[in-house]
Structure 1
């Protein structure tokens, strides 16, 4: 899932946040819950987390990821901003997964994020994270 919004907090009431915003998350984890498929993989969650899928565009389709993120925030930005600053949230970040596709003749690769998207992120005190994944090509 190349672009995700994660909202986390030690004392974050994820259920109340979803109820107030009306934005259904992809996944909810609650502080104190056990995760992992086997006894050896189990761990106790120390934070409550809401996970929203913002874009399912491919890792190499940066323009669509960004367009989808703008659509998500144009749709939900006002509701997120209304509750995000008062809900015991410790961390919020928008995570873009992008491929490197850097060949031998390319020295640098840049990713441009429009000011409108950055304004939405600033309104909810959201960090921007870009994970660059090595391409198999």
Structure 2
């Protein structure tokens, strides 16, 4: 009784075909391409709020106006501009701050003064630290 015989050429072709299929499958799973680590609004809020609490929930004074400290959150870029956003942006996005709290300039860009707007300061301070300014 003789077993099934297969030529070396056929065996090499089968092995290459299997490797190609595995490479394609892993491409779809994201193992070939580096995955970008992005942080959700809620995760950014939790990180930023924790840092703010650790610093005593203090406000920065800027031109006679109380502002949320500039706590930048790593890997948090909801508007996709390539710059990490801060606690004020996370607060506005998580708690749907009142109208006028942010400006969407076509690319989801936020104003640099967002953290100094009184409605945003009040909302974020109350939600994170449980106090009013």
TM-score band, normalised by the shorter chain? Answer: under 0.3
Larger radius of gyration: 2
Q: TM-score, normalised by structure 1?
A: 0.24
Query: Which one has the bigger strand percentage?
Result: 1
> Relative contact order (alpha carbons < 8 A, sep ≥ 6): 1 or 2 greater?
1
Considering fraction of residues, name the structure with more helix: 2
